[in-house]
Structure 1
Amino acid sequence: MEPDSVDSKGLWCAQSLWEFLESKGQEYAPFDPKRAHRIYAKLAPMLKLEHLKIIHILGTNGKGSTGRFITLGLLQCGHRVLHFSSPHLWHFRERFYRNGGDVSDEELEEAHRALQRFGFVCEASYFEYATFLGLYLAQECDFLVLEAGLGGEFDSTSVLRAHLSVFTPIGVDHKDFLGADIESIAGTKLRAMGDNVLLAPQPYAQSSLIARAIAKERGARLCELGIIESSAQLCTQIEAFCACFGLESREENEWWQAYRAYVARYGYAEFLAQNLLVASFVWRFFGLRVDCGNLAVLDLRGRCEWLRPHILLDVGHNEECARALKSVIEQSFGQRRVILVYNTYFDKSVRHILALLKPCIQEVWIFPLVDNPRVIARSDLEAILGDLGIVYRDFVREEMRDSQDYVVFGSFSVVAGFLDIFEGELCKTN
């Protein structure tokens, strides 16, 4: 098929990937729900994806860590894997984790040039184009672990028919795009399900009810997981899981011991441990045995990450994240109140998040975020903190002390900015 991306003078598009992405504007710009499907219908015949097993990760919280755990297990079993995730902390290439490491800028530029042969891809939005780059980069892989963006049925990642749809906990977020209540948000996400569905434990009962209704309507096989806290509970869940998907059940007592040892070895928070359990059911779906004793460490930064015994770092953007973090703070610091290094975006539930964390907070240090139109106005954040009776001040790295406990929490920009400062100091020291 002849490429159609030449301009009126017959010249190839000369924009680099970075220039092209910059021309797309904000990642969360208004979108056309049919555009990604329209582009993919034309692009699919040019890609070699027939052999690719698709694992589609949807939900609100825990998509990144669940997807990465899945990927680490697939890699241990010798498979070639691309994990597509978003957003990124520092570099766009972080979204494309292939066979154990981020792809290079050169590989991304090559994928961009290949896609630019077909002019119809140029109408894609920022995130849609990132998705198509991921598809191109996954052509030589066995598995594609594909993390959805903020949407569900209209998300560009939903252009593919997944072998397994995995729904992490669905919470209230992105109301401007997805709806004002959990029913609207869950419905939009869950309508992206394929024929085989794994539903992680849900914070809202409505999500489970909606999932069952959609699965029944479509004839999809749905397995709902509950919280697993013992070997006996794991065995019960495995039996139900295998019955749902027509798989052979097997003894897992030794696996449970290795799993608990792995979680303890790296000090994972309980919600990360549960995300790993969800990943383990994905491995079982594909008939894989993963040895937790030799599983690589989670290598996604900022997911309840301990930088020092007194510094905890976590990306969080809604009330469910705040509740999970509050539990970690209480378990880790006991009665000691922490300094919360915080900032976020204007469209988040800032008041509810801070109200949840207030019992654990000594004071808030506002982390500076500049040149970002999504950041909450300083005056609005100060008003919320004042109303809640929380003492606040500006973040000053030089005033952090080893005798005080700190939790760095908020948007990806906060986490990236703090890590830049923290690791920059380590480089100077070393």
Structure 2
Amino acid sequence: MINGLEIYKKKWNIETDRSIKPGLQAITAALAELNNPHQKGYFIHIAGTNGKGSTGAFLAAILRKHGLTVGNFYSPNIEDLHDQIQVDGKPVTEEEMDSAMARLSKLETPLTDFELLTAAAFLIFEQKKPDITIMEAGMGGRFDSTNVIDPELAIITSISYEHTNFLGHTLENIAWHKAGIIKKWKPIIIGQLPEAARNIIENEAKMLHAELILPEKQIDIELKLKGRHQKENAKLALEAAKEILLLKFNHDMAENALAGATIPFRFEEIYPNLVMDGAHNEASIKALVETIKEQYPGRPIHIVMGILKDKEYTKILRHLETVSDHFTFVDFENERALPAKTLFSENRSKIKTIVKYYDILPVPNKKEVTLVTGSLYLLSNLRNNHFEMFENYRIQKK
């Protein structure tokens, strides 16, 4: 579900397939009809189970600090589809999206929702001409609709179990999909990967004569984005910036950019005693649990959770139960959402309840830290319903 897309489809009478159909045939044909906008730019491609958005935000911040204009294609959205397509940190406007959709409405090739949004992104980047565009893969990599580009550099942030019904049930299968973004003779930067996954990536890189780069230097600066995993993401972005900027790279400017970089819903305090984090799979939940212990030692934690039905919610609950015995489960507006009653029945905590997602605010217990997690779609719904409250607090914090 891409929030806001239906409005444009209805306005421009565009029919799409809302299912997920990995493959490049349709998007390639559609882009050919549009005179191949994806071939007119300098691209960086990012894939990975977790860390794609943060790494892209870190890298964009460094490049902008060096005077470059930077496009970003994120997945999924925070508020709606406009923030998935950004130039210099500013979401695409309704007018720019209308212009893209007007052209897309004339396509003869039928597309899925995500393919349509990807094509719109390429048209907008073609029109706005950023110096560098950072494309985040939606799912996997090899057959993801973003993989029509020939990037100057690729990054694989992490590999763990995700979307197993599409990507396969082993780390080797999943790594094979991620490895599809590696291009011949172009460098590939990788994060800390499990050995089984790393072997697949190394073999693909060797076959394509792609230089494999593993950053070694630690990041010692204080980041706004909290957690040990964010320092790993920052390290990847720093290495990528060095590859892109070469002699123009300034380490002090890069570190200054990293220190100030932010992205919504990455352990973000959006109101006093209320933190939102978009962790939604076992690996990211493990990182979240570590960050909770690091940031709030000794504080009672109240977990508010909603999640999609295709996630490993039982394993996720077991990890979260190590830092909290107070849970609230919520139903939220998404056709793929897992019923809150399922989470309630699987949960082992002492205190648990079910509420409508908009009933969790305001936070009544000042001793507790309330942490909302499980799905970016849930967090997006909450932000949209309480936008004015959250924005006022964000401005006050500045």
Residue 34 in structure 1 maps to residue 21 in structure 2: no
Residue 328 in structure 1 maps to residue 279 in structure 2: no
Corresponding residue for residue 407 of structure 1: 371
* Shift of residue 417, structure 1, vs aligned partner: 2.9
Corresponding residue for residue 117 of structure 2: 130
* Shift of residue 101, structure 1, vs aligned partner: 0.7
Distance 1:40 1:292 in 2: 35
3-state SS of 1:152 partner: coil
* Shift of residue 53, structure 1, vs aligned partner: 1.2
Corresponding residue for residue 243 of structure 1: none
Preserved contact between residue 317 and residue 348 of structure 1 (Cα < 8 Å): yes
Preserved contact between residue 300 and residue 367 of structure 2 (Cα < 8 Å): no
Corresponding residue for residue 108 of structure 2: 120
Corresponding residue for residue 335 of structure 2: 373
Corresponding residue for residue 196 of structure 2: 206
Preserved contact between residue 17 and residue 109 of structure 1 (Cα < 8 Å): no
Letter in 2 for 1:348: K
Distance 1:345 1:105 in 2: 29
Letter in 1 for 2:113: Y
Deviates further, 102-111 or 34-43: 34-43
Distance 1:268 1:205 in 2: 26
Distance 1:68 1:206 in 2: 28
Change in CA separation of 1:21 and 1:307 when aligned onto 2, cut-off 3 Å: farther
Preserved contact between residue 9 and residue 15 of structure 2 (Cα < 8 Å): no
Change in CA separation of 1:22 and 1:356 when aligned onto 2, cut-off 3 Å: farther
Distance 1:268 1:165 in 2: 25
Change in CA separation of 1:326 and 1:427 when aligned onto 2, cut-off 3 Å: closer
Letter in 2 for 1:416: S
Distance 2:257 2:118 in 1: 28
Corresponding residue for residue 222 of structure 1: 212
2:240 alignment partner, one of 270, 282, 290? 282
Distance 1:293 1:345 in 2: 36
Residues 62-81 of structure 1: pairs in structure 2 closer than 5 A: 62-81=51-70
- Residue by residue over 1:132-189, the C-alpha shift from the partner in whole angstroms, topping out at 9 and shown as x without a partner, is 1111111222211011111211111111111101111111111111111211111111
3-state SS of 1:315 partner: coil
Distance 2:378 2:272 in 1: 20
Distance 1:219 1:428 in 2: 51
- Residue by residue over 1:356-400, the C-alpha shift from the partner in whole angstroms, topping out at 9 and shown as x without a partner, is 121101211112313x22011233222211xx3553112443463
Change in CA separation of 1:299 and 1:17 when aligned onto 2, cut-off 3 Å: farther
* Shift of residue 325, structure 1, vs aligned partner: 0.3
Letter in 1 for 2:124: L
Change in CA separation of 1:172 and 1:18 when aligned onto 2, cut-off 3 Å: farther
- Residue by residue over 1:81-126, the C-alpha shift from the partner in whole angstroms, topping out at 9 and shown as x without a partner, is 2101111122211011112311101111112223334x234x1211
3-state SS of 1:339 partner: strand
Residue 182 in structure 1 maps to residue 140 in structure 2: no
Distance 2:293 2:284 in 1: 14
Corresponding residue for residue 383 of structure 1: 345
TM-score calculated relative to the size of structure 2: 0.86
Change in CA separation of 1:31 and 1:186 when aligned onto 2, cut-off 3 Å: closer
Letter in 1 for 2:20: A
Change in CA separation of 1:398 and 1:136 when aligned onto 2, cut-off 3 Å: closer
Residue 99 in structure 1 maps to residue 61 in structure 2: no
3-state SS of 1:322 partner: helix
TM-score calculated relative to the size of structure 1: 0.80
Letter in 2 for 1:373: E
Distance 1:100 1:383 in 2: 41
Residues 246-257 of structure 1: pairs in structure 2 closer than 5 A: none
Letter in 2 for 1:397: L
* Shift of residue 308, structure 1, vs aligned partner: 4.3
- Alpha-carbon RMSD across the aligned residues, in angstroms, is 2.6
Preserved contact between residue 14 and residue 105 of structure 2 (Cα < 8 Å): no
2:98 alignment partner, one of 96, 109, 112? 109
3-state SS of 1:55 partner: strand
The number of equivalent residue pairs is: 376
Change in CA separation of 1:131 and 1:267 when aligned onto 2, cut-off 3 Å: closer
* Shift of residue 301, structure 1, vs aligned partner: 1.0
Change in CA separation of 1:63 and 1:281 when aligned onto 2, cut-off 3 Å: same
The percentage of aligned residue pairs carrying the same residue is 22
3-state SS of 1:359 partner: coil
Letter in 2 for 1:127: F
Preserved contact between residue 40 and residue 159 of structure 1 (Cα < 8 Å): no
Corresponding residue for residue 268 of structure 1: 226
Change in CA separation of 1:267 and 1:374 when aligned onto 2, cut-off 3 Å: closer
2:353 alignment partner, one of 393, 398, 423? 393
Letter in 1 for 2:209: G
Letter in 1 for 2:71: L
Corresponding residue for residue 4 of structure 1: none
Distance 2:47 2:198 in 1: 14
Letter in 2 for 1:382: F
Change in CA separation of 1:160 and 1:65 when aligned onto 2, cut-off 3 Å: same
Change in CA separation of 1:356 and 1:289 when aligned onto 2, cut-off 3 Å: same
